[in-house]
Amino acid sequence: MALQNDADQPIHIEGDDAEIDQSNETIIYSGSVEVVQGTLRVFGERMVVKVKDNQVQQIITEGGPARYRQRLEDDQGEVEAEADSIIYHTSAERIYLNGEATLTQLGNTLSGESIRYDIVNGKVDASTGDKPGRVRMTLVPDSASQASP
């Protein structure tokens, strides 16, 4: 599970350009965009931020591929992800990875066309959607378990 206090931190967004559409409550960033919220980081080439009642509801990141990274609780390292697009649902604390999605933690890798990651509960669902192929996982043995007695 990700650090619990990350969701309580301010959301900082940077990009080369920004376009604000108040009537549709969206902000569109482009060019080397980065979101930072505590230890959570999302990077991409284009980002659409949806706002409601002055609160960020959703951040959609695309490009080159889009990448996500966040430190985990209890010294579990970091979780990293990449996909064609990443949708971060801020209030639900969920990340949706779409298009050639990969999620990695402690060397273990899960890949598929689509991955849904519940940050709070540490739950992951992966699928191939309607594309050919399979969901793949690679599990790396714990080096401590390989030591001789």
Q: Which residues pair with 50 in a beta bridge?
A: 26, 58
Domain count, the chain: 1
pTM: 0.86
Task: Report if residue 120 sits inside a domain.
Answer: yes
Task: Report if residue 87 sits inside a domain.
Answer: yes
C-beta atoms surrounding 87 within 10 Å: 20
17-21 and 26-37: which strand pairing?
A: antiparallel
Exposure string (b/e) for 121-131, b if CB count within 10 Å is 16 or more?
A: eeebebeeeee
Task: Report if residue 19 sits inside a domain.
Answer: yes
Instruction: Read off the CATH number of the domain in which 67 is found.
Output: 2.60.450.10
Task: Report if residue 109 sits inside a domain.
Answer: yes
Q: What is the pLDDT of residues 89-137, one digit of tens each?
A: 998 989 999 999 999 988 899 999 999 999 888 899 999 988 888 999 9
Task: Report if residue 54 sits inside a domain.
Answer: yes
Would you state the pLDDT for residue 4?
Answer: 64
Contact 101, 90 (CB under 8 A): no
Question: Tokens at residue 53, please?
Answer: 């009642």
- pLDDT exceeds 90 at position 47: yes
SS3 label, residue 80: strand
Residue-number span of the structural domain to which 102 is assigned: 4-144
Task: Report if residue 149 sits inside a domain.
Answer: no
Task: Report if residue 9 sits inside a domain.
Answer: yes
Looking at the chain, the whole-number percentage of residues with pLDDT higher than 90 is: 69
CA–CA dist 5, 110 (Å, integer): 26
Among residues 52, 55, 54, 106, the alpha carbon closest in space to that of 77 is found at 106
Q: What is the pLDDT of residues 25-46, one digit of tens each?
A: 999 999 999 999 999 999 999 9
Question: Tokens at residue 47, please?
Answer: 């980002």
